[in-house]
Chain A
Amino acid sequence: MKETVITSGRMNPGIDPVLHAWGWEIPIYLFLGGVVAGILFFAGLYYIRGKSEQYKATVKIAPLFVPAMLSIGLLALFLDLTHKLYFWRLYTIIRWESPMSWGAWILMIVFPLSLMWIATFIEDIFPNWDWKFNFVKKTVTWLTGFQKWMAWGLIITSLILGMYTGILLSAFNARPFWNTAILGPLFLVSGLSTGTAFIMLISKSHEEKSKLGQIDLVLIAIEIFLIIHMFMGFLASTEVQIHAAHMFLGGPYTAVFWTFVFTLGLIVPFISEALELKGFKIPVVIPAMLVLIGGLILRFIVVDAGQSSRWLYKFVEQLQ
């Protein structure tokens, strides 16, 4: 028998009785980061594979949403800061050991890159577009010559961005639930999957949709594998991680996670996309929306659960 009691009434806001340093802002930011990574990855990929015309939504249209998504994500991140006036300190230093730092910097690269990418396609999409200033027009034309380089840039940076959203959390060894190397790949794959889903939603081409559906099928399969693998890893690990896993296996997160993320966010879209492949008519919005919502909830749950899993004071009686 062991009783642990904090007897001095420790009640630091946001820390006690369970850690709640990060609220809705970080999951939103991570989610949007993931979607953006997915969009930009496939935009770059299909450009290089020379499919810009068949996969117009993928290469040209979906990226149009990226700056807005990034802005909302960054706004959420900004709102989360408690010492906002000093946010510029992020950009006075690069700290390789801090995922927060290189995350901030990768966004500094992705954001302008996505803008440039869009710019080079804008006249293509909106034929009546007028750049107003000649020098802009000239610059854009000049940039268009580098589309291939940009596409490679998108592929690389989007992969980093996607990984980063998972590694940010898994860098925090202090939280047993985040302390797994699988979180990086999981968030990357989930990001690619939500990106795919987003493109599927806006695509008008049947061919594009069904191609993306096939890709998504694979991504979802990988996700399911990673999640199972992650829990098995936890259960075979230290006491604190077993405790963390139990939050999902009979603990407070069990219902939300297995119903919304696993079943509705992965299994159902998987089945419906598979059926679609077999020729059944299923409106694409159903799996796509489910994937997006599932991805969003996944991030909320992982951020929250990570914070409630701890090394110390797991069984503390809060007497105050």
Chain B
Amino acid sequence: MARYAMAIDTKRCVGCADCVVACQTENNVPIGYCRDWIVQDTYGEYPNLSMEIRSERCNHCDDSPCVRCCPTSASHYAEGGIVLVTHDECIGCKACITSCPYDARYVHPEGYIDKCTFCIHRVKEGEDPACVAVCPTHCMIFGDLDDKNSEISKVLRSRKYKTLIPEAGTKPHVFYLL
């Protein structure tokens, strides 16, 4: 079994939002919606500043409240721990939306709930997710944590990293390299 994850190098990311457009075109995410987004945290006071830039999306949590609270099991874990929504099981009760501490989900205009899929359709073809494949700074790494020799396993062994709000207890699988 694979355990898919993403590592994003905040030191390289320039916040260009290419990953956001690439996701939109790849996945037919409607104009006005997005599955990923860019956050810039600036710390300090002029002129002693530092900045962290993050490309954020669903964290494909191991212990994900969105799956737990879904009354129909439309939200589920798919292969590699990817959290997905089966559209024709979703009733649009939005319990998963309110349960996600990362606000990673939204209501698709067609009624079902949508969010990042880790581009499972591309992953199955052996490709990187669209956002990873487009990133001009090569700051994203996608791969299988169960494979000790994968690039992502290696980078997580060698670099410092964090996840977002680990105290929410969701066990996120998007890692930010610091």
Judging by beta carbons under 8 Å apart, are A172 and B71 in contact? Answer: no
**Among A5, A11, A83, contact of B91 (Cβ-Cβ < 8 Å):** A83
Answer whether A2 and B111 are a contact pair too, CB < 8 Å, given A104-B71, A172-B65, A174-B100.
Answer: no
Assembled-state Cα–Cα distance A311/B90 (Å): 25
Q: How far is the CA of A173 from the CA of B66 in the complex (A)?
A: 11
Name the interface size band of chain B. 35 or more
Q: Which residues of A contact B90 (CB under 8 A)?
A: 83, 86, 89
How far is A180 from B69 in the complex, measured between Cα atoms in Å? 16
Determine if B102 and A80 form an interchain contact, defined as CB atoms under 8 angstroms apart.
Answer: no
Q: Name A102's closest neighbour in chain B (CB-CB).
A: B71
B103 and A312 contacting across the interface, CB-CB below 8 Å: yes
| Residues of B close to A89: CB separation below 8 A | 72, 74, 89-91
Most buried by A among B17, B37, B93, B168: B93
Give chain A nearest CB distance to B23 CB in angstroms: 10
Which residues 5-63 in B have Cβ within 8 Å of A in the complex? 15, 17, 20, 32-34, 36-45
Total A-B residue contacts, Cβ distance less than 8 Å: 161
- Does B92 lie at the interface of the complex (its beta carbon under 8 Å from any beta carbon of A)? yes
Chain A residues near B94 (CB, 8 Å)? 14, 21-22, 80, 82
Q: Tell me if B92 and A82 are in contact (CB < 8 A).
A: yes
User: Which B135-167 residues sit within 8 Å CB-CB of chain A?
Assistant: 164-165, 167
B69 touching A82 by the CB < 8 A rule?
no
What distance in Å separates the Cβ of A123 from its nearest Cβ neighbour in chain B?
38
Q: Are B101 and A310 touching (Cβ within 8 A)?
A: yes
B contact set with A: CB distance below 8 Å = 15, 17, 20, 32-34, 36-45, 65, 68-74, 87-95, 97-103, 105-107, 111-113, 164-165, 167-169
